[in-house]
C-alpha cells in the first residue's frame, strides 16, 4: 500500500485529510507494521516527520521491553518530546502521538 502525503493548498479540509492519513500511517508504524508511504516536502519537513516517527516508535518499543527501566523510558520520552517540539515548530501543529 503506497500513499502520497503532499499538501496541495491551504484548504482546511484537505489539510485535515492529510492529518488523518498521516496519523493512520504513524499509528501503524509505531505498532511495527510496515507502511509504504511516500512523503514529499522540504528537507526540514521530511526530517521533522522522520525524527518524530522514529522517536515515537522507539518510545513505544521501550515501554514494552520487559527489562526497561524508568531511566531508559524517560530517555526515550525526552527524545520523543524533543522531536515533537521540532515537528510543531516546522508545521505549526502538535505532534499527534
Range(s) of the domain holding residue 43: 2-91
Whether residue 46 is contained in a domain is answered as yes
Cell of 61: 518499543
Cell 515501554 sits on residue: 63
Whether residue 97 is contained in a domain is answered as no
Whether residue 42 is contained in a domain is answered as yes
pLDDT at residue 3 tops 60: no
Mean pLDDT of the chain: 80
Whether residue 37 is contained in a domain is answered as yes
Cα separation, 65 vs 5, in Å, equals 32
Number of H helices, E strands in the chain: 3, 2
Number of domains in the chain: 1
pLDDT at residue 10 tops 70: no
Whether residue 40 is contained in a domain is answered as yes
Whether residue 54 is contained in a domain is answered as yes
Asked whether the beta carbons of 35 and 28 are under 8 A apart, the reply is yes
**What confidence score (pLDDT) does residue 57 get?**
87
Whether residue 85 is contained in a domain is answered as yes
Provide the 3-class DSSP secondary structure of residue 40: coil
Model-wide pTM > 0.85? no
Amino acid at each position: 500500500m503506497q500513499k502520497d502525503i503532499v499538501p496541495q493548498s491551504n484548504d482546511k479540509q484537505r489539510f485535515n485529510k492529510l492529518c488523518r492519513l498521516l496519523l493512520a500511517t504513524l499509528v501503524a508504524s509505531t505498532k511495527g507494521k510496515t507502511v509504504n508511504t511516500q512523503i514529499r516536502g522540504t528537507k526540514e519537513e521530511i526530517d521533522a516527520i522522520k525524527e518524530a516517527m522514529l522517536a515515537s516508535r522507539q518510545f513505544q518499543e521501550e515501554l514494552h521491553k520487559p527489562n526497561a527501566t524508568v531511566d531508559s523510558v524517560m530517555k526515550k520520552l525526552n527524545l520523543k518530546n524533543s522531536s515533537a517540539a521540532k515537528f510543531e515548530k516546522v508545521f505549526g501543529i502538535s505532534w499527534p502521538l
